Amino acid sequence: MSMKSFPKPSELPVPAGAEGWEKLYPYYLVFQDKLKEAEDAKFWFCDSQHWPTVFKPFETIGGEFAVKCLGQYNARHLMIPNANGIEFRIHLGYLYMSPIPVPEDQIAARVPLFEQRVGHYFQNWEELLKQWHVKVRGTIDEMETLSFAKLPDMVPMEDITTGKAKDGSEVLLENYDRLIQLAYQNWQYHFEFLNLGYIAYLDFFNFCKEVFPNIPDQSIATMVQGVDMELFRPDDELKQLAKLAVELGIQSAFANTDDVEATLGAVRASSGGERWIRQYEEAQDPWFNFTVGNGFYGHDKYWKEHQEIPLGYIADYIRRLDEGQEIMRPTEELIAEKDRIVEEYRDLLEGETQAVFDAKRQLAATAYPYVENHNFYIEHWTMGVFWRKIRELSRMMHAEGFWNEPDDLLYLGRNEVRDALFDLVTGWGVGAQPIGPTYWPEEIERRRGIIDALKTARPQPALNTPPASITEPFTRMLWGITTEQVQQWLGAGEEVEGGGLRGMAASPGVVEGIARVVTDSDQLSEVQQGEILVATVTAPSWGPIFGKIKATVTDIGGMMSHAAIVCREYGLPAVTGTGSGSTTIKTGQRLRVDGTKGTVQILDAEEAAEPAIAGPGAHSHSHV
Amino acid sequence: MESNEYIQFFDGGIEPTLEALGGKGSSLVTMTSAGMPVPPGFVVTTAAFDEFMSAAGITREIHDLLEGLDPEDVAEMEKVSAGIRADICSKPVPEGLRAQTLAAYEALMARFEEPVPVAVRSSATAEDLPDASFAGQQDTYLWLEGAKAVTDHIRQCWASLFTARAIIYRLKNGIPNEGLSMAVVVQKMVNSKVSGVAMTLDPANGDRSKITIDSSYGVGEMVVSGQVTPDNIVLDKVTLTVVSEHLGDKHAELVPDRSAHTLVEREVDEERRGRRSLTDEELAAVASMAKRAEKHYKCPQDIEWALDADLPDGENLLLLQSRPETVHSSKPAAPKASTGGYAASLGIPASGGSAASGDAASGTTAAATGFSLGSITASLLKTTA
């Protein structure tokens, strides 16, 4: 049987106006002509789960740090016997990944090293995790101390008298370097426990598949997943604030939450309003360090700086409370159901096998919650502070005339920023004009044109010829890239009855409803009560939306993707990893989502106004 | 209608006793209250029999007739037996008892859009009928329609306590004729539109975390005897998620012909053949019922079930039979998980094994949590995660 293939990178058309895009990114991030043969021989899948839209040059930092640090834990810390890290490239603005296997003849030698290392972590889990929290918090606190103030007209007299003999520009340079280093540091910490969480999960997963052949993946996930996780805390805080507002009878203050000052002013002026404000302020630290995106983009909006977002959600919760709806997640029911499922599977086993089940589930239940909870600390909190500091720097340089728009720093690579900073301090130091204000505005406009052109095409699900089977454990678990999934993308998978899409059965249940396609978090406000959310990928911070919708369909993501976890938590059906849900389905179409079977049917496909758009050259709905 | 001293509905909520309901009757009530819906019906209790006998005033006379009978004299035995039974059938039923029985029958019929045929079966108490083969000797009357047919056959069941075989059995086993009694079951005839079997394990590998269902149209005989290829569905027992399903051809069905009091075979049309014979809701209901049967009998079960065309959707699933699954249930409940096997197959020295085994080379087992590094390694190396 001849294996169908995805296109080669060189076969993809460059969108008009995007010519020369390669030069926007560092040389090591793009496919090389001289390595064409070797690179074409590898299978690359697109990680649109984390990077759904085109990278601006500065934003490659998230992809680079995250995927590099993931790899180091496989290849250098834990010595995973059969998996090294993941190579990555940016092609036409999107991130493609290729897992690196360990040569067969080296696997055995890594086993004892691996067992020694993971053994240490699993034996000392609590203590090491406690230490992790201290380290991560330390990084964030230090990040907060960094500032990028405008340089003074002259060195203060005090520095003359103390003989300091430095002009302060070194602080600007050091702070920039330090900010980058601290981000790198927390990305290393991010993966200290993540791979271990997956390892413990995989161990339990494989055991279950062995003793209960064909046990649904959902059952295994349910047995180890935390029911009340930190990722839901921000949303829960908003619900509590909505309840308090109703209790205090101050609903009318939330009539127009787009005006943050007026809303908070109206609350303060109401009777009991001060109490509400106190609770609101307490909730902010740290829970408003929460992005509507996923932490990887400079345009991510964080609740802290965009309080109209949490206030809007609060207003929506207040409305639902006033309508008599239950807004809290059914936590007790979920815990009871989880306990029932664990108990019933356990009861099917006897003696020693039952003891093994207990040990493995216990380990997975200990280690796996990290996979869910770390996200708040790194993607939301750390990156929230990081992007805030970057904006501060960008705005300072904007004020110095380096670029036309306040956030245009994102169009520079992170090492170009250092050059620009040195340009700035040189011009300032010698009393001349820096070159940047002459050079960057025009260059940034050129780059903006290229980025906008790249955004008009969606990425390919993958590049080149897939291997006969996909065995790398993390690729399968984290990204849901399985042999079946790849075949499905290639159109070779099992047909869905009546036409439609197939993906992963990520959260059980069957519903019909109207689709709402969301390709960018700015479109979230369009989502109406009772609609089915169709997205490239969802972010955990979309929490409040999950209380409104009936089901979720995503293009990419496995059993343990955020959409899957949140939907199980909210008791909503979800089909993840459909490959092309957000491009095939149109807002307003009627869908039947079967989260138990992993299928999505478009019930009125022929009535769709526009033809489905997919593949290279397709226009994305994104208006980022 | 409420259950009372003489009549006990299967779903009447009264605690069943062997003395009042006999073996079959009390089992039907127990199953119904355990959530295993047998075809609906009621039991005419032993108190009704006692009341009838006492009003008929023939107990003494019967005892005298049976006294001193020679169990080897078959001709005499048959003659006496026939006499007693004719006597029982000719005596009037006391008016109160008769009214209660008729009301019970009407109440049963009222559950359906139009009157349906019933079966009338005797249900003896355990002391009189110690083994199942003997129970089979008791009378069963099928396809009965109308109150008269039903009451006549209740009386015939009572009379069946005095068949020659029953008399001989008691003589040979030294069971006294004093205090003999008999309950009678009146139960709706099943009108299967869809039926099949379900096992509370996967017969392919004995996996007890699955429920396997075979389902086809009409009466289950064609499924059981292999004359049609049924739909085959495997569900996860804990979550009732469908794990796999294969649509069978289901080319023919056996359906009851009420007028002929028999089953007729007919073709199934393309449309019905092309879809699953059970809806999602019906499938979940069959699986839940199988699971309840297993829980009730505390071992894997092999059940026969049917969807009754005379009952409304959601209440039409009936349990026809539940018996222990014997092929796999004698084996351990679950296969023992292999540990380290995959590593070994790759030429890697087994480094772990069970949590208790330990490993000198890498000090791998962590007693604190009881996990096994060898198995973790094996998991990672497993190529089909």
Torsion-angle region of A557 (φ positive above 0: left; ψ -120 to 50: alpha; else: beta): left
Average pLDDT over chain A reads 89
The DSSP code for B358 is: -
Residues of A in contact with B376 (CB under 8 A): 115, 118, 199-200, 203
Q: Is the pLDDT of residue A180 over 90?
A: yes
Residue of A nearest to B361 (CA): A112
Put simply, whether A532 touches B (Cβ < 8 Å) is: no
Q: Is A568 on the interface with B (CB under 8 A)?
A: no
Of the candidates B3, B18, B15, the residue with the CA atom closest to the CA atom of residue B182 = B18
Tokens of A599: 């299928």
Residue closest to A122 by CA, chosen among A38, A45, A224, A197: A197
The answer to whether the beta carbons of residues A265 and A271 sit under 8 Å apart is no
Lowest mean pLDDT of A270-274, B211-215, B321-325, name the range.
Answer: B321-325
Higher pLDDT, residue A379 or B169: A379
Q: How far apart are CA A382 and CA B254, in angstroms?
A: 69
Mean predicted lDDT score pLDDT of chain B: 82
- Evaluated on CA atoms A105, A108, A111, A113, the torsion sign reads negative
Q: Does A477 sit within 8 Å of B337, measured CB to CB?
A: no
Distance CA B192, CA B219 (A): 5
Residue among A219, A348, A596 whose CB faces B333 most closely: A348
CB pair distance less than 8 Å for A207 and B383? no
| Residue among B244, B362, B379 minimizing CB distance to A115 | B362
CA A582, CA A613: separation in Å to the nearest integer? 9
Nearest to A10, CA basis, from A25, A26, A24, A22: A22
User: What is the per-residue pLDDT across A429-457, written as a single tens digit (0 to 9) for each?
Assistant: 999 999 999 999 999 999 999 999 999 99
Residue A608: pLDDT band (50, 70, 90) is very low
Domain parsing of chain B, residue ranges: 7-188, 192-324, 337-385
* Interacting residues of B209 by C-beta distance below 8 A, sequence separation 6+: A211, A212, A215, A345, A348, B236, B237, B238, B334
- Pick from A615, A192, A174: nearest CA to A425: A174
Q: Which chain B residues are within 8 Å of A212, Cβ to Cβ?
A: 207, 209-210, 236, 334
Q: Does the pLDDT value for residue A613 go beyond 70?
A: no
pLDDT band of B224, cuts 50, 70, 90: confident
Residue A63 CA: distances (Å) to CA of A301, A377, A547, A550: 18, 17, 30, 32
Largest CA-CA distance found in chain B, in angstroms, rounded: 90
Of B205, B355, B379, the CB nearest to A356: B355
User: Higher model confidence: residue B145 or residue A569?
Assistant: B145
Structural tokens at position A98:
């290729």
Greater model confidence, A535 or B307: B307
| Span B353-368, pLDDT tens digits | 333 333 333 333 333 3
Is A116 a residue whose pLDDT tops 80? yes
Side chain identity at residue A462, one-letter code? A
* Chain A residues with beta carbon closer than 8 angstroms to that of B328: none
Instruction: Suggest the residue from A105, A206, A357 to mutate for an interface test with chain B (most B CBs closer than 10 A).
Output: A206
d(CA A586, CA A608): 7
Candidates A83, A378, A371; CA nearest to A221 is A371
How far does CA A545 lie from the centroid of its chain?
17
pLDDT tens digits for B22-65? Answer: 888 888 898 888 888 899 999 999 999 999 999 999 888 888 88
B282-306: per-residue pLDDT in tens? Answer: 999 999 999 999 999 899 999 999 9
Q: For residues A240 and A255, give the distance between their C-alpha atoms in angstroms, rounded to a whole number.
A: 18
- Distance CA(A229)–CA(A418), nearest Å, equals 39
- Per the model's pLDDT, the better-predicted residue between A330 and A32 turns out to be A32
Q: Do B348 and A353 touch (CB under 8 A)?
A: no
* Confidence check on the interface: ipTM exceeds 0.85, yes or no: no
CA–CA distances in Å: residue A478 to residues A49, A196, A481, A557, B276: 10, 13, 8, 7, 35
Superfamily of domain B7-188: ATP-grasp fold, A domain (3.30.1490.20)
- Options 3.40.50.2300, 3.30.413.10, 3.40.50.80, 3.30.470.20; CATH for B192-324 is 3.30.470.20
- Tell me, yes or no, if A111 comes closer than 8 A to chain B by beta carbon: yes
Please indicate whether, in this complex, the C-beta atoms of A355 and B239 are within 8 angstroms of each other.
Answer: no
Nearest-CB residue to A202 (from B209, B371, B380): B380
Tell me if B195 sits within 8 A of B222, measured CB to CB.
Answer: no
Q: Do A108 and B349 touch (CB under 8 A)?
A: yes
What does the domain layout of chain A look like in residue ranges?
116-228+361-445, 231-331, 496-607
- Mean pLDDT of the region A1-7: 69
Whole-angstrom Cα distance, residue A69 to residue A85?
9
A213 interaction partners in chain B (CB closer than 8 Å) = 202, 205, 207
Is A213's CB within 8 Å of B202's CB?
yes
Which residue does chain A place closest to B370, by CA atoms? A359
**B300 → chain A, closest CA residue:** A348
Q: Which residue has better confidence, A386 or A368?
A: A386
Preceding omega of B203 cis (within 30 degrees of 0): no
State which H helix or E strand residue A174 sits in.
helix A169-211
**Residue A185 has which token pair?**
């540091």
Contacts of B380 in chain A (CB under 8 A): 80-83, 199, 202-203, 473
Residue B15: pLDDT over 90: no
pLDDT, residue B331, reads: 58
* Count of CB atoms situated within 10 Å of the CB of B139: 16
Taken as a whole, chain B contains a residue count of 385
In this predicted model, what pLDDT tens digit does every residue of B227-281 receive, in sequence order? 889 999 999 999 999 999 999 999 999 888 878 877 889 999 999 999 999 999 9
Band of pLDDT at residue A86, cut at 50, 70 and 90: very high
Among chain A residues, the shortest Cα distance to B352 is held by A115
Q: B336 vs A112: CB contact, 8 Å cut-off?
A: no
| Chain A residue numbers touching B333 (CB-CB < 8 A) | 348-350
Question: Which of A80, A199, A348 lies nearest to residue B209, judging by beta carbons?
Answer: A348
Asked whether A623 and A520 are in contact (CB, 8 A), the reply is yes
Helix (H) or strand (E) run with residue A470 in it? none
Interface of A with B in 209-238 (CB under 8 A): 210-216, 218-219
Answer whether residue B128 shows pLDDT above 70: no
The count of CB pairs under 8 A between chains A and B is 168
pLDDT score for B143: 86
Can you give the pLDDT at residue A606? 56
In this structure, what are the phi and psi dihedrals at residue A152, rounded to the nearest 5 degrees?
Answer: -75, 165
Model confidence at A619, pLDDT cuts 50, 70, 90, reads very low
Which DSSP letter does residue A10 get?
G
Q: Which of B239, B364, B370 sits opposite A219 (nearest CB)?
A: B239
User: Is A106 in the B-facing interface, judged by CB distances under 8 Å?
Assistant: no
Q: Which residue has the higher pLDDT, B116 or A524?
A: B116
Instruction: Give A501's strand partners.
Output: A600
Domain A496-607 class, CATH top level: alpha beta
